Structure 1
Amino acid sequence: MKPLSVIILAAGSGTRMKSECPKVLHPICGRPMIGYALDLAASAGAKHPIVILGEAADQIAPHLPKDVKVVIQSKPLGTANAVLLAKRAAGSLSGDVLVLYADTPLLRRTTVQRLIESHNRANATCTLLTTHLADPAGYGRILREATGEVVGIAEEADATTSQRAIREINVGPICVKAQLLFEALATVHPSQAKKELYLTQAVNRLAKQPGTKFQVVRLEMAAEGLGVNSQQDLAKATAVVRQRILEGHLTNGVTIVDPQMTYIDHGVYIGHDTVIHPGTVIESGVSVGRRCAIGPFARLRRGVVLGDEVRVGNFVELVRTKVSTRVRINHVTYLGDTTVEEDVNIGAGTITANYDGTNKLPTTIGRGAFIGCDTVLVAPVKVGSGAVTGAGSVVPKGHDVAPRSVVVGVPAHLLERAKPAAKKQPVRKNPSRQKPVTRRPMNTARRIVKRAVRKAPKARRATHTARRRR
């Protein structure tokens, strides 16, 4: 297999973004835009990709992995000049060169693999990635002969009216034989429009050389070729990446009630049979166990790890917090830098006051603890296993709550030690031990009255009968 060197072009100024943040550092679903290009380089097998940076190098370089070789393009002289700088920095590049762009974050790994495989299979001099757009404004156009053979690329700034009508565009990434590329780059002259050296000029020179062979790989979906040059483009790219992330979780057995109202960043793990309700935001690096329920309107920030069967309800925010199995955090709660053990119930309105103005401090809640509504835990503090805090309690820092104790008040003070729940004894029925039922004797006066009432009608009936006989 031929050696493959990867060059990532990231020196663009990004003036159309109208932002102080370098274009390639703008986040897309929780990671800098350039991170997606680095993923593509890794999928191509590049161990030490070369990244070309411009005037914002001091801001971008700290975000790059250590195995990346950074080359500075001090003057914006174009993409051809950037590739030449990469060659000089590397000393020598043999085999093939894969050129990627840091502002094209939607390319899939499978697409780059197809590009490389097609290039190797055809033993091509240069392989281009193209697509067709209804509105190709801003992109270089693919020039072909009547036979369909590629003869060059026309940058929009230098294209003629007829060339601008072409809808097949150059997406950007190319795979090309290194030696022939650098020979062509040495003969490139600045363009008339921008006075820059374009990589496409070297491609055009290669296309005119006899014996060269060009190959084209078309994108399966045109959206993959979107170049991010404005905030509008960034919003479109973010929407596409977010949809891909959600589809991945759905495929893995996660229930997402309303995908349009759910925001999950890159690099999140969610176990199967977990339900994500609308309005939920889950940031990069979060891990959620199986059979959990998240939301609605919950926010899980970086450093959160949830065990299995955890309930995180509405308006709950967690950050740098580890939650064990069968924990309930149902309403309006903030936990930061907290460790929550198994079978804990966190009441509505609970807050960990984890910031003292300088440092973030830890809180630990033991197994089976019951945290009452509106409890404030001032870190650093520990709540023991089986302990209970009364509603509205404020537990000061350093005043740990002992296991199985009950604390209440502001500041929280010991009320009692929680007693283990008594086991109910089954009731045994034994006829021999049952007490005989005794009836209370009726009052004598009541008996006399009762008899009198009963005999009165008989006496009246007797008198009436005697009168009739007379």
Structure 2
Amino acid sequence: MRSPLPKALMPLCGKPMLWHVLRKALSLKAKKTVVVAGFRADLVKRLVGRSAEVIRQKRLLGSGHAVSAAYGALKGFKGRVLVLYCDTPLVSRRSMETLLGRHTNGSGVTLLSARLEDPAGYGRIRRSGTGAVEGIVEEKDASEAQRGLNEVNVGAYVFDSQKLFAALKSVSLNPLKKEYYLTDAVGILAREGLAEAVPAPGGAEESLGVNTRLDLAKLGMRMQDEVLKEFSEQGVVIRDPRTTVIDAGVRIGEGTVVQPSTVIEEDSVIGKGCVIGPFARIRGASRIGDRSVIGNFVEVVRSVIGPDTIIKHLSYIGDARIGRGVNIGAGTITANFDGKTKHVTVIKDKASLGSGTVLIAPVTVGRGAKTGAGAVVPKRQNIPDGGVVAGVPAKVLKKARDKRRGGRE
């Protein structure tokens, strides 16, 4: 992959590849979840946190060796063990449930299969004349006849725990790759008549894996389609799926319209009935309140925006806390970075900013306050509630102040 990151942490639709697999696995509510990590196991442990136990594979000797590394964590456990690969993140929760449901007492292994028009690169499932699973042969070890088989191993299994670790003890080092294959354990159980292959409910797409950057990009596009489909089913209007990018982990409320060429990233949350875009970008776990508008060429980062707020044109909103019913004029900038540190801008309820306003953080705009077009508000020069400022640098307008006090011109 030509990356300083382990494959498990390569980004896919805005999240590490492992995140997608682990999220589905954790939803099954297993008695225990174990992640086996090799290269940069420290980074994997940081991602996983307390959601699962991370076991370090000290020597990278293949999939069979990786599963053997989990023996200590599962010692004494008697039951079903679901084994998943981090680089096949399209395996669905439905497929996992299907495997668990099909695996009966007395079975050794139930594995997920798919039939591909072009099975190149995949391990082929060998069957007897009666259809029984005889084993899995990896492509590098396959004969020409075996390479003609089109039923492939997807890379998801349910094993009987005791039979799994007993079979792994009999697996030999592959002479070509110098690795211990988990698929050889499947072969051992198959020879005992204890293996079954189940078609993936989602079809061939679930078998797609990642070995190259191009694979990652292709998989990302397919996963993006799934994310957009899910939002559509939840009542979100996606005007142009071809140009819309929404990360996994983002949340969007019912009735929100996402206009073309919009990017929503990094666990951001959009409320109900909003309009986002076109050409908008929301990132940094920003929060957008119900019925708000984030219009064309607006970027929002690390900000919280209250309900019924309008930011329609050409604005940068960074590290801001914006209240309810605020109107942000075209070209408004929250200048949050002073060259060393990023600072917060606070804009209270019902404030109104004129076009081209620049707010130099840290600064606060009071409730119902207004800025004139092109105003530059210096840092710490807070605008009081109901205040009106204009100019460069912005100053309180006496006329507005006198009117507020009931004075005369």
Q: Which residue of 2 aligns with 1:214?
A: 195
Q: Is the 8 A contact 2:186 2:195 kept in 1?
A: no
**Structure 2 unaligned runs (5+)?**
none
2:299 to 314, 317, 327: 317
1:179 to 155, 158, 162: 162
Q: Does 1:135 align with 2:118?
A: yes
2:206 to 196, 216, 224: 224
Kindly report which structure 2 residues correspond to 1:30-429, keeping only aligned pairs within 5 A, or say none.
30-120=14-104, 123-209=106-192, 212-220=193-201, 221-416=203-398, 417=400, 419=403
Residue 214 (structure 1) shift: 2.3
The sequence identity of aligned pairs, in percent, is 45
Tell me: CA distance 1:283–1:47, structure 2 relative to 1, closer, same or farther (3 Å): farther
Alpha-carbon distance between aligned partners in 1 of 2:76 and 2:341, rounded to the nearest angstrom: 49
Pairwise CA RMSD: 1.7
Q: Is the 8 A contact 1:263 1:280 kept in 2?
A: yes
Q: Secondary structure at 2:307's aligned position in 1?
A: coil
Residue 302 (structure 1) shift: 2.3
Q: Is the 8 A contact 1:158 1:192 kept in 2?
A: no
Residue 278 (structure 1) shift: 0.5
Match of 1:262, as an amino acid?
T
Q: Is the 8 A contact 1:290 1:308 kept in 2?
A: yes
Give CA-to-partner distance per residue, 1:90-119, whole Å, 9 cap, x none: 433321211110111111111100110111
Match of 1:197, as an amino acid?
Y
Please say which of residues 356-365 and 261-270 is displaced more in the overlay: 356-365
Please say which of residues 131-140 and 411-420 is displaced more in the overlay: 411-420
Alpha-carbon distance between aligned partners in 2 of 1:67 and 1:385, rounded to the nearest angstrom: 43
Tell me: CA distance 1:113–1:158, structure 2 relative to 1, closer, same or farther (3 Å): same
Q: Is the 8 A contact 1:128 1:217 kept in 2?
A: yes
Q: Secondary structure at 1:44's aligned position in 2?
A: coil
Match of 1:33, as an amino acid?
M
Q: Is the 8 A contact 2:283 2:300 kept in 1?
A: yes
Match of 2:316, as an amino acid?
Y
Q: Is the 8 A contact 1:343 1:369 kept in 2?
A: yes
Alpha-carbon distance between aligned partners in 1 of 2:82 and 2:256, rounded to the nearest angstrom: 40
Match of 1:230, as an amino acid?
T
Provide the TM-score with structure 2 as the length reference.
0.94
Q: Which residue of 2 aligns with 1:428?
A: none
Match of 2:37, as an amino acid?
L
Alpha-carbon distance between aligned partners in 1 of 2:257 and 2:29, rounded to the nearest angstrom: 37
Match of 2:230, as an amino acid?
G
Alpha-carbon distance between aligned partners in 2 of 1:405 and 1:43, rounded to the nearest angstrom: 52
Match of 1:126, as an amino acid?
V
Q: Is the 8 A contact 2:372 2:389 kept in 1?
A: yes
Residue 47 (structure 1) shift: 4.8
Residue 19 (structure 1) shift: 2.2
Alpha-carbon distance between aligned partners in 1 of 2:10 and 2:164, rounded to the nearest angstrom: 31
Alpha-carbon distance between aligned partners in 1 of 2:300 and 2:51, rounded to the nearest angstrom: 33
Residue 89 (structure 1) shift: 4.2
Q: Secondary structure at 1:76's aligned position in 2?
A: coil
Alpha-carbon distance between aligned partners in 2 of 1:377 and 1:388, rounded to the nearest angstrom: 12
Q: Which residue of 2 aligns with 1:426?
A: none
Q: Is the 8 A contact 1:87 1:93 kept in 2?
A: no
Give CA-to-partner distance per residue, 1:34-86, whole Å, 9 cap, x none: 01121232133225321111122233221112232222222221111111111
Alpha-carbon distance between aligned partners in 2 of 1:369 and 1:65, rounded to the nearest angstrom: 41
Alpha-carbon distance between aligned partners in 2 of 1:102 and 1:398, rounded to the nearest angstrom: 49
